[in-house]
């Protein structure tokens, strides 16, 4: 067998682990692992647990294969699934102690910022929000001895701001803090944050990892199985935000087509961004794959040559024209969320429950895997009907 590490596309398609081992059931030879529905596992007469599994909130055997595949895709030491992306993210913060200080990006998923500045702050975290492209501002926000964690999202909702993972990791480590990255929109196909120095990667597995808008799930991957990771394991075990067995199996099925879905979405998004940038009804296209985007250079370095399936457009005529455009599409679906096979369009400021500085004329586009001409023609017709 070749000693070369397997490429992400192969790991994903085979649902393999980091050694290239496929999840074939040893009992039956089934090429897809079984779904274990048991909540509890038998203790031996000698009072031990001979299979090492006790109770499904601690150790659900159905998690093993999707966790191993995601761990291999991210090049991590261990991975954990959670009941949602929010549960995964919040577990990281809850593994800190009251009085610890965290720094998070200005551009990020608004609900997580809501949690940090609401429940997280009430519970005793010190929280600073900084513009992550300004590394001096980041350095200035560090509270020596107290800053324990820096949280970034890249590309970040909804203007696709890019953060230099390697540069922020260096600053975090110099301050004795760890770096956690919400890599939901990059996916392990485009960026592997751990290889750039991050300590923890988080995914809303609801999005690209599953890819079909039919489950809610979250995941964390760690570079090291250290004491902090053990605390996160304790948070999951004791607070119980675990995924169901059926969702875990469905997630593994979704991940098997991750590479091909992401590549097609990226190719479609790049075509759309190029065409829409020249469209008379559009003021601005926000996409890291465009040279005009402020994050283009860093994205070109850290995103494996593709720029993701998410882009936003600013429609001439303001909020009213943007909402009317979303109302006029026939091929795109008006819905929140992202990373699925079908393309979604959303007036972003209408869903955000905190002021994230999102322009009122912005439509967020999650580009799917449909024929790109259909996607473009539909948007073009909608824009022209409104203007
Ligand atoms: N991070 C990002 C970038 C997201 O877009 C979302 C959801 O929209 C989340 C985290 C939260 O994930 P979930 O909805 O699975 O809880």
Candidate from 108, 184, 338 with most ligand 1 atoms within 8 A of CB, to mutate: 184
Q: How would residue 58 be classed by pLDDT, with cut points 50, 70 and 90?
A: confident
What are 121's two structure tokens? 């702050």
Å from CA of 86 to ligand 1 middle: 6
Could you give the count of Cα atoms lying within 13 Å of 210 in the half-sphere of its Cβ? 24
Choose, from 207, 236, 261, 364, the residue flagged as catalytic.
Answer: 207
What per-residue confidence (pLDDT) applies to 319? 98
What per-residue confidence (pLDDT) applies to 2? 56
Instruction: Please give the average per-residue pLDDT across 161-165, as a whole number.
Output: 98
pLDDT digits (tens, 9 = 90+) for 343-354: 999 999 999 999
What per-residue confidence (pLDDT) applies to 160? 98
Q: Is the pLDDT of residue 1 over 80?
A: no
Residues 6+ apart with CB under 8 A from 105: 129, 130, 131, 132, 151, 152, 153, 156, 161, 163
What per-residue confidence (pLDDT) applies to 17? 97
Could you give the count of Cα atoms lying within 13 Å of 147 in the half-sphere of its Cβ? 22
Candidate from 82, 85, 312 with most ligand 1 atoms within 8 A of CB, to mutate: 85
Strand-pairing partners, residue 310, are 366
Instruction: Please give the average per-residue pLDDT across 14-32, as a whole number.
Output: 96
Å from CA of 280 to ligand 1 middle: 33
By alpha-carbon position, which residue is closest to atom 2 of ligand 1?
109
Q: Judge whether 110 counts as a catalytic residue.
A: no
Share of the chain above pLDDT 90, in %: 98
Q: Which atom in ligand 1 lies closest to the alpha carbon of residue 205?
A: 15
Q: Which atom in ligand 1 lies closest to the alpha carbon of residue 157?
A: 3
Instruction: Please give the average per-residue pLDDT across 256-262, as a whole number.
Output: 98
Q: Which atom in ligand 1 lies closest to the alpha carbon of residue 108?
A: 3
Q: How would residue 4 be classed by pLDDT, with cut points 50, 70 and 90?
A: confident
Residues 6+ apart with CB under 8 A from 321: 281, 315, 361, 386, 387
By alpha-carbon position, which residue is closest to atom 12 of ligand 1?
85
By alpha-carbon position, which residue is closest to atom 11 of ligand 1?
85
Closest residue by Cα to residue 308 from 373, 261, 344, 254: 261
pLDDT digits (tens, 9 = 90+) for 276-293: 999 999 999 999 999 999
Ligand 1 pocket by Cβ (under 6 Å): 84-86, 109, 153, 157, 182, 184-185, 204, 206, 216, 218, 337-338
Higher pLDDT, 59 or 373: 373
Higher pLDDT, 1 or 246: 246
Q: Judge whether 207 counts as a catalytic residue.
A: yes
Instruction: Please give the average per-residue pLDDT across 70-81, as a whole number.
Output: 98
> Cα Rg for the chain, rounded, in angstroms?
21
By alpha-carbon position, which residue is closest to atom 14 of ligand 1?
85
- Please give the domain boundaries of the chain with CATH numbers for all domains: 8-255 (3.40.640.10), 258-386 (3.90.1150.10)
What per-residue confidence (pLDDT) applies to 3? 74
Q: Is the pLDDT of residue 247 over 80?
A: yes
By alpha-carbon position, which residue is closest to atom 8 of ligand 1?
337
Q: Judge whether 21 counts as a catalytic residue.
A: no
Instruction: Please give the average per-residue pLDDT across 197-211, as a whole number.
Output: 98
Instruction: Please give the average per-residue pLDDT across 133-160, as a whole number.
Output: 97
Choose, from 18, 57, 170, 360, the residue flagged as catalytic.
Answer: 57
Q: Judge whether 57 counts as a catalytic residue.
A: yes
What per-residue confidence (pLDDT) applies to 176? 98
By alpha-carbon position, which residue is closest to atom 6 of ligand 1?
204
What are 168's two structure tokens? 């922020």
């Amino acid at each position: 067998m070749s000693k070369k590490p397997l490429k992400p596309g192969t790991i994903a398609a085979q649902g393999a682990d980091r050694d290239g081992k496929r999840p074939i059931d040893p009992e039956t030879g089934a090429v897809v692992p079984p779904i274990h529905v048991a909540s509890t596992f038998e203790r031996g007469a000698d009072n031990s647990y001979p299979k090492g599994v006790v109770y499904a909130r601690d150790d659900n055997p159905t998690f093993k294969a999707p966790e191993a595949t995601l761990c291999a895709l991210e090049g991590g030491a261990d991975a954990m699934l959670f009941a949602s992306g929010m549960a995964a993210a919040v577990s990281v913060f809850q593994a800190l102690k009251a009085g610890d200080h965290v720094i998070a990006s200005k551009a990020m998923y608004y609900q997580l910022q809501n949690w940090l500045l609401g429940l997280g702050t009430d519970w005793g975290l010190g929280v600073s929000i900084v513009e992550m492209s300004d590394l001096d501002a980041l350095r200035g926000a560090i509270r020596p001895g107290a800053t324990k964690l820096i949280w970034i999202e890249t590309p970040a909702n909804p203007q696709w701001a890019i953060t230099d993972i390697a540069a922020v990791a260096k600053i975090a480590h110099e301050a004795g803090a760890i770096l956690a990255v919400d890599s939901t929109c990059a996916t392990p196909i485009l960026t592997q944050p751990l290889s750039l120095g991050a300590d923890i990667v988080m995914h809303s597995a609801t999005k690209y990892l599953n890819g079909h808008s039919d489950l809610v799930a979250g995941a964390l991957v760690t570079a090291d199985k250290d004491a902090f990771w053990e605390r996160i394991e304790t948070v999951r075990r004791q607070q119980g935000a675990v995924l169901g067995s059926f969702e875990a199996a469905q997630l593994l099925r979704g991940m098997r087509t991750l590479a091909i879905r992401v590549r097609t979405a990226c190719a479609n998004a790049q075509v759309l961004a190029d065409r829409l940038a020249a469209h008379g009804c559009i003021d601005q296209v926000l996409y890291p794959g465009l040279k005009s985007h402020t994050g283009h250079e860093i994205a070109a370095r850290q995103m494996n040559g593709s720029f993701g399936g998410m882009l936003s457009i600013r429609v001439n005529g303001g909020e009213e024209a943007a909402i009317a455009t979303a109302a006029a599409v026939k091929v795109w679906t008006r819905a929140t969320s992202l990373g699925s096979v079908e393309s979604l369009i959303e007036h972003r400021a209408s869903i955000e429950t905190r002021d994230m500085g999102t322009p009122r004329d912005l439509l967020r586009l999650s580009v799917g895997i449909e024929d790109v001409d259909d996607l473009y023609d539909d948007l073009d017709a909608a824009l022209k009907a409104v203007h």
